[in-house]
A and B are shown apart, each in its own frame.
Chain A
Amino acid sequence: MSLPCREKEFENIYRFIEGKILDGAGGCMYISGVPGTGKTATVQEVVRSLQEAVSRRDIPDFKFIELNGMWLTEPRQAYVQLLNALTGQTVTAEQAQQLLERRFSRTAHRRITTLLLVDELDLLWTRRQDVVYNLLDWPTKAASRLVVLTIANTMDLPERLLMGRVTSRLGLTRVTFHPYTHKQLQEIVMARLRGLQAFDPDAIQLVARKVAAVSGDARRALDICRRATEFAEGDAEGSDGTVAMQHVDQALAEMIASTKVQVIRYCSKMEQLFLQAVASEIQRTGVEETVFDKVYIQLRTLCVFDGYAVPSVTESLGICARLGSCRLLLTEHSRADMHQRVLLNVSSDDLYYALKVL
């Protein structure tokens, strides 16, 4: 199996769907978990295994339909997509809804189970919640033979976002995918690299630990490893070609390095002074929000101290607007002129760090 560390979840989902198909019943399941924990991949794998079982004649045939909230321009398009997948018709959302309603309430003897996967369920949310309601109401009809798997990131989405009557229909069959631990991440990377001696095991462990400490996102871990491999490729001439600790370090440093610090370092002298003026004004008042004219007074003092020509108000407003447009500052609309409010959009620690090195 290509999905290490998800055996338990796999079995859970597999048993659920298999049971429903064998019973000829309908049902819903809610799958949650943060990005990059293998939710969609596991479900796809389950479906593939089930299809294999069908081809071996172990279980009756079923039809698999996939919907993703991201594919839809509007939540009600879900009906159109579903109907299209079932019958090949293309109609408006309203008609599609009626046709589906009729289809699922009517008993048909030769109907096979329909397995519907709804990815990114939270995007189907509307104020009246009619789309989610209908998708979850059809499985409760005896004749529908519809199994709905819903996927979203939020663990408590049913309680937080959905109305009581929708939650009641969603039921309690839930599977949560937890972030990977460093051991699991290590295993995943190792599984991908099976048969290759290209990676230093300690380097993999470092990546796994770093990623597990922040998000436990497998995609991220693989990304870092890929980047490290690219670095190793760059200086493959000298060494034996394996990816070692220093390459991983390099990749991690690149990921972690703050772009904002870089941007501040490449700012012009006056812009840097302006940022410094904002920071010292914030320090002076103790409030995060300041007004441009106060900052200008600070700027004047700073310029005099450092021996620069004091910029005019118009020039300073220009500087302020430039810094605002690259989002180092948050500024009010420039209509307010001298009295526009100014806010720092970087932490002051980052700012001092960036300015100190100069």
Chain B
Amino acid sequence: MQILYAHNILFCMTFSSGSTYQQVRQALQSNSPTSLPGREEHLSRIHAFLHDHLIAGSSGTLYISGPPGTGKTACLSKIMELPEFKSGYKIVNVNCTSMKSSGSIYARIAQELALKVSKQTEKICLASIERYLASNHKMILLVLDEIDQLDSRKQSVLYTVFEWPSAPNSKLVLIGIANALDLTDRILPRLQARLDLRPELLHFAPYTKLEIVSILTERLKQSGVSAMFPSVALELLSGKIASTCGDVRRALDIGRRVIELAEVRNQTVPLQPTVDHASNTSSPRKSPRKNPDAGCVALKEVMAVLNSVYGTSQSFVTDSDESFPLQQKVLVSTLLLILKKGHNKDVTVGKLHEVYCRICKKKNILSVDQAEFISLCQLVETRGILKVQGRKETRLSRVCLQWDEEEVCAALKDKQLLASILNDTSCL
């Protein structure tokens, strides 16, 4: 009994009271936030749109576009939580990635509207939805997330859905969400022909630096751990994100990783997976709580994470220089040689292998045979350096270099070998 009790206390101590780091990490989770700084205007526009249509009892269409991680779905779900709309509308919220094919959306909508259908076929479901829309019904709010997934050959599904609001007697507000700015103009040109079908557009621009800073500070302030992240570090992080993609998920992700890095730095006890933890109740996780100032994030940690993310694509350069096998180096150098000095830039695997064999013979390296060579090509391909196209006849498939020469040089870390191969055109 005593032991059990002690265990319980230990349990509570370890799990419920998190360290400061844990609080910061939780603050930077990329799930839906409670407040959306920098999106007030969008929020009020969506609110006004829904409000007006609810009051007037009229139908309407809104198309929301914007790159990933700019708060489209978050804004909308926040507004749908409002009691005014929750009671006023019958809300149907569908994420279109969950559909098997574009046609099965009808069955899903019919199910959400609790319509009785005799069979789950596309035609019958569509007919019953249309019958429902024609009858006297409550206002419907139909939200289709990632609407570009409903793409079909003649766009019949998208056209049908976008035509519902203009059907007589229907009281349906349609909100579509996707990444493309011009989806409605590009794949649905016929909507422009009729004025009543034309959707209202709302674009979510990528977050600016200031907005990202305010989002992060807000989140940190809510958990009361804003001291952990100095404002300089926040500015650096936000500036970098804003200048590349403005994706807030990414900013939060990087923030979390910076915290993890800082935590590792402050943990004096190295992790030993097989060491028995049961005896020491004061786990290393808690020690930084005694002096919270020491644990805050340093600028160099932010830089380290940013460099690993936004550095060149070959992150393995940082590791030990021997991690690139010799034969693969020769292969890549051979490809460079053919592309730079050869007459025919159309390189097949067979041709590459022949030149490679000649170079190997010259350099006194044991060359591998064709079958092995093909698997070698595939190994290099997984690094993203080259691409083998046309898989049917491996000997005839083409090899394309995906990186430019400087990147390759940096990755090989063996200028001598590369130069000696490149200067020797007799092998061609």
Task: Give me the interface of A with B, judged by CB distance under 8 Å.
Answer: 1, 10-11, 14-16, 19, 22-23, 25-26, 32, 34, 45-46, 49, 52-53, 56-60, 76, 93-94, 97-98, 101, 128-130, 133-134, 137, 140-142, 153-156, 159-160, 164-165, 167-169, 171-173, 176, 178-179, 181-183, 212-216, 256, 258-260, 288, 330, 343, 345-350
Contact = CB atoms under 8 A, between A and B. Distances in A.
Contacts of A46: 273
Contacts of A58: 14, 277-278, 283
Interface string B273-304: 11011100001000000000000000000000
Given A57-B278, A156-B384, A260 B323 contact: no
A215 B97 contact: no
Contact of B278 (A56, A259, A348): A56
B44 interface: no
Contacts of B99: 130
A216 B98 contact: no
Given A25-B25, A288-B350, A171 B325 contact: no
A216 B325 contact: yes
B272 to A, nearest CB: 9
A239 B273 CA distance: 43
B313 interface: yes
Interface residues of B, number: 75
Given A25-B29, A171-B253, A343-B396, A165 B179 contact: yes
Nearest to B372: A214
A330 B68 contact: no
Given A25-B29, A97-B98, A256-B369, A212 B353 contact: no
21 contacts: A1-B274, A23-B22, A25-B25, A57-B11, A58-B277, A59-B14, A93-B100, A129-B97, A130-B99, A142-B29, A168-B250, A169-B249, A171-B253, A179-B324, A215-B375, A216-B323, A259-B371, A260-B370, A330-B393, A343-B395, A350-B369
Interface of B: 7, 10-11, 14-15, 18, 22, 25-26, 29-32, 67-69, 95, 97-100, 104, 146, 149, 179, 247, 249-250, 253-254, 257, 260, 264, 271, 273-274, 276-278, 283, 309, 313, 315-316, 319-320, 322-328, 348, 350-351, 353-354, 357, 366, 368-372, 375-376, 379, 381-384, 393, 395-396
Contacts of B357: 347, 349
Given A19-B22, A178-B316, A181-B320, 13 more contacts: A11-B271, A16-B260, A23-B26, A56-B278, A128-B97, A155-B316, A156-B384, A172-B257, A172-B309, A173-B257, A183-B322, A214-B328, A343-B396
B354 A128 contact: no
Contacts of A256: 366, 368-369, 372
B249 A171 contact: yes
A19 B98 contact: no
A30 to B, nearest CB: 12
Nearest to B270: A11
Given A22-B22, A57-B278, A154-B382, A172 B322 contact: no
B66 to A, nearest CB: 11
Given A165-B179, A330-B393, A347-B350, A134 B98 contact: yes
A153 B375 CA distance: 13
A130 B149 contact: yes
Contact of A165 (B146, B382, B383): B146
Given A14-B271, A141-B31, A181-B323, A347 B370 contact: yes
A165 B98 contact: no
Contact of B249 (A23, A98, A168): A168
Contacts of B384: 154-156, 160
A234 to B, nearest CB: 25
A21 to B, nearest CB: 9
A25 B27 CA distance: 11
Contacts of A155: 313, 316, 382-384
B278 A15 contact: no
A169 to B, nearest CB: 7
Contacts of B375: 215
Contacts of B277: 53, 56, 58
Nearest to A28: B253
Nearest to A349: B357
Contacts of B350: 288, 347
Nearest to A330: B393
B31 A140 contact: yes
Contacts of B10: 57
Contacts of B26: 23, 25
A10 B395 contact: no
Nearest to B368: A214
Contacts of B323: 178-179, 181, 216
A215 B370 contact: no
A117 B187 CA distance: 38
Contact of A34 (B179, B276, B379): B379
A42 to B, nearest CB: 11
A348 B353 CA distance: 11
A44 to B, nearest CB: 12
Among A101, A141, A153, A214, the most chain B Cβ lie within 10 Å of the Cβ of A214
Given A171-B253, A214-B376, A22 B366 contact: no
Contacts of A142: 29, 31-32
Nearest to B316: A178
Contacts of B273: 1, 10, 14, 45-46, 49, 52
B325 A168 contact: no
A52 B95 CA distance: 39
Contacts of A130: 97-99, 149
B22 A168 contact: no
Nearest to B102: A128
A121 to B, nearest CB: 13
Contacts of B313: 155-156, 159
A168 B31 contact: no
A347 B366 CA distance: 16
Contacts of A154: 381-382, 384
Contact of B25 (A23, A213, A343): A23
A181 B325 CA distance: 8
B235 to A, nearest CB: 19
Which 3 interchain pairs have the tightest Cβ spacing? A168-B68, A142-B31, A49-B273
A346 B316 CA distance: 34
Nearest to A217: B379
Contacts of B22: 19, 22-23
